[in-house]
Structure 1
Amino acid sequence: MLPPLNSIVSRLRLKQLRLLVALSDHGSLIKAAEQVALTQPGASKALHEIESALGATLFVRTNRGLEPNEVGHVVIRYARLIQTDLAHLREEMIGILQGHGGRLSLGTIMGAVPLLTDALSRLLEKRQALSVEIVEDTSGHLLHLLDEGRLDLAICRTSISQRPHLYDSLDVRDEQLAVVANKSHPLAKEKNLVLSDLAGFRWVVYSANMPMRLLLEREFHEAGLRFPLYLLETTSAFTTLSLLQRNPTLVALLSTDVAQFCSRFGMTTVLPLELHSRSEPYQLVTRHGSVLSPVARLFIQELTQESSAKRDESAAPPAAQLT
């Protein structure tokens, strides 16, 4: 039986975790001991103390040296994460003490990438020494990273969570969706399309039960069409674009912001298909009750200004009506 968490925390030391990482890197107790400034007997004792504290054997001896077993690989992975977190801690402390810089960890779903990068670009003009980590993933995984404290905030949706009360959220942008394809797609030159025109083509889609996938399924259902059978499922924007580039018969559903960005650089074209369903808005999400750093609050300020400007643009009449 594994020891309780309090026992593990009270018995493990940072130098022991460094030894684990060194053992993984070198596979030799002698070389690992040299790296962390221990004698070989001291390293052997430290390894025994680690395994005793965790209640499990972590390494097996082979003719190539010490090799981590399955549990050992897990422990080493978390030892590396702890070292990385400490490096980030030091980096953020330096930024605070020097009165500039700092560190910011941001999460975003694919469709909100343009919104995030616009706000971040303005912030970097003001905080040039700022270090930033950006994670693009699904709302579910981003919320998981928020739970672990690995993100300061995320632009995603809390509706997919079974515990939305764990988060503070603010709607920042209504999402509009567009169907995109290769510029050489057989229907790229058409002036107007309906969903039945695209029912026979292969779609690149999000995984089942994700908001954009559910919206597309609803569109097919309301049009009285069978949802396509042979799908390419991915949550990666780059994979989606690569597939569209390589195969001119594929179609995909993207946020309008991403679709317009890709079209502007000649990567794809937006097909003239009007969707009747509306997606949920993006939300700015933080852990409920969390204390945000000054630089995180500055980013939120830039983001909310950006989303307000976008809403004003969409509400404004066309330029021809303003003259």
Structure 2
Amino acid sequence: MVPSLTSITSRLRFRQLTLLVALDEAGSLHRAADRLGMTQPGLTKALREIESTFGMALFERSPKGVLANELGRCIIRYARVIASDLGHLREEIDGVLRGSGGRVAVGTITGALHSVLIGALAQLRETQPALSIEVREGISSELLNQLNEGRLDLAICRTTVAKQADQFDYEALQDESVAVAVGPRHALAKARRVTLAQLASCRWILYPGNMPLRTLLEREFREAGLGLPPYPIETASSLATMLMLKQDPTLVALMAEGTMAFCEEHRIARRLPLAIRSRHEAYGIVTRRGARLSPAASLLVQCLRDAANPGGGLGLVHT
């Protein structure tokens, strides 16, 4: 039987939420007790009190430690969100008392990092120089998980990879074009015309199979009547892709436009004269559905809108 909201709010304490998160991260009662400065028997008793509040076990015990079950993972996710919101509360209070400051954590896919985030952060720092900013780079699925767990205030990514996209609010920022890149010493680096058929026998650096850029490239080869090049190097890391292109003169890679521009500016890679016909889906600002952003995060959202679309922002779209 699911406990009533009154029962949960009257019995559950913030300290217990911290305990659940620590236990999940540590994976054992002993390590979690050390982290929290408690004895193991004391932690065991506290966990039983929490489980009695919900009327069921939250962790599976084994000789190797403890592992959150499905209900436990659900409660721990909300525990992290509550802890994050409390952190925002403290930062907002501090900012009010000092007249400035605060903290914001933002996640981004690589293409948006070059295209909009760097400019937005520069604008944000001009208006809020005392602001602390955390930037995490990753693929969309990773960023959505961190956002859902309360580790990020907002993310710049895509929600189409989410299992439950309705958990998020999404505001479109930019369409993203792509380019085909090679290292400066590649045989085709200075070619005036290149066909996809010429590249079919090359060694490619590909994104993993679940990522939009990989799907786009597969579609491009399929529509050209070509098979995907064999024996690829697979990585989601833009930095690894850049380093490999510069080092190995035989490799080819598909890049987001922002990353390609960065590589050209710093002579890391060259753009091939080959148009990719398939359209890459847009990315945007993603927040937890219904979440109230801190003043610092709200300022960053406006700076992102300005960086992506100087003529004005786009409306909020629920996906």
Consecutive unaligned residues of structure 1, counting only runs of 5 or more, are 312-323
Q: Tell me if the contact between 1:182 and 1:250 (Cα under 8 Å) persists in the aligned partners.
A: yes
* 1:245 CA drift (Å): 3.2
The residue aligned with 1:187 is: 188
Q: Tell me if the contact between 1:19 and 1:32 (Cα under 8 Å) persists in the aligned partners.
A: no
The residue aligned with 1:94 is: 94
Q: Tell me if the contact between 2:121 and 2:303 (Cα under 8 Å) persists in the aligned partners.
A: yes
* 1:123 CA drift (Å): 0.6
The residue aligned with 2:212 is: 211
The residue aligned with 1:319 is: none
Q: Name the SS of the counterpart of 2:305 in structure 1.
A: helix
Which amino acid in structure 2 is aligned with residue 262 of structure 1?
A: C
* 1:169 CA drift (Å): 2.5
| TM-score of the pair, normalised by structure 2 | 0.74
Q: Tell me if the contact between 1:26 and 1:32 (Cα under 8 Å) persists in the aligned partners.
A: no
CA–CA distance in 2 between the matches of 1:222 and 1:310?
36
The residue aligned with 1:103 is: 103
The answer to whether the aligner puts 1:131 opposite 2:132 as a matched pair is yes
The residue aligned with 1:248 is: 249
CA–CA distance in 2 between the matches of 1:193 and 1:9?
65
* 1:231 CA drift (Å): 1.9
**Shift in CA distance, 26/247, structure 1 to aligned 2, threshold 3 Å:** farther
CA–CA distance in 2 between the matches of 1:209 and 1:162?
13
**Shift in CA distance, 302/229, structure 1 to aligned 2, threshold 3 Å:** same
The answer to whether the aligner puts 1:157 opposite 2:158 as a matched pair is yes
Q: Tell me if the contact between 1:203 and 1:231 (Cα under 8 Å) persists in the aligned partners.
A: yes
* 1:46 CA drift (Å): 5.5
Q: Name the SS of the counterpart of 1:160 in structure 2.
A: coil
The residue aligned with 1:292 is: 293
CA–CA distance in 2 between the matches of 1:144 and 1:44?
29
Q: Name the SS of the counterpart of 1:299 in structure 2.
A: helix
The residue aligned with 1:167 is: 168
The residue aligned with 2:178 is: 177
* 1:31 CA drift (Å): 7.5
RMSD (CA atoms): 4.1
* 1:246 CA drift (Å): 3.4
- Matched ranges for 1:10-89 at <5 A: 13=13, 35=37, 68-69=65-66, 85=84, 89=89
Q: Tell me if the contact between 1:169 and 1:283 (Cα under 8 Å) persists in the aligned partners.
A: yes
* 1:184 CA drift (Å): 1.5
Q: Tell me if the contact between 1:29 and 1:44 (Cα under 8 Å) persists in the aligned partners.
A: no
Which amino acid in structure 1 is aligned with residue 127 of structure 2?
A: K
* 1:27 CA drift (Å): 5.8
* 1:134 CA drift (Å): 2.0
CA–CA distance in 1 between the matches of 2:289 and 2:29?
42
**Shift in CA distance, 258/288, structure 1 to aligned 2, threshold 3 Å:** same
Q: Name the SS of the counterpart of 1:240 in structure 2.
A: helix
**Shift in CA distance, 69/5, structure 1 to aligned 2, threshold 3 Å:** farther
* 1:260 CA drift (Å): 0.9
Q: Tell me if the contact between 2:80 and 2:151 (Cα under 8 Å) persists in the aligned partners.
A: no
* 1:163 CA drift (Å): 4.2
CA–CA distance in 2 between the matches of 1:83 and 1:165?
20
CA–CA distance in 2 between the matches of 1:209 and 1:193?
27
CA–CA distance in 1 between the matches of 2:47 and 2:215?
51
The residue aligned with 1:120 is: 121
* 1:45 CA drift (Å): 6.1
* 1:50 CA drift (Å): 6.9
More displaced, 215-224 or 205-214?
205-214
Question: How many positions carry a matched residue from both structures?
Answer: 302
CA–CA distance in 2 between the matches of 1:58 and 1:157?
32
CA–CA distance in 2 between the matches of 1:221 and 1:81?
43
Which amino acid in structure 1 is aligned with residue 187 of structure 2?
A: P
* Deviation per residue, 1:28-65 (Å, 9 max, x gap): 999879x56x8x997786577678779779899x9xxx
Q: Tell me if the contact between 1:96 and 1:102 (Cα under 8 Å) persists in the aligned partners.
A: no
| TM-score of the pair, normalised by structure 1 | 0.73
**Shift in CA distance, 298/190, structure 1 to aligned 2, threshold 3 Å:** same
* 1:98 CA drift (Å): 2.3
Q: Name the SS of the counterpart of 2:120 in structure 1.
A: helix
- Matched ranges for 1:215-234 at <5 A: 215-234=216-235
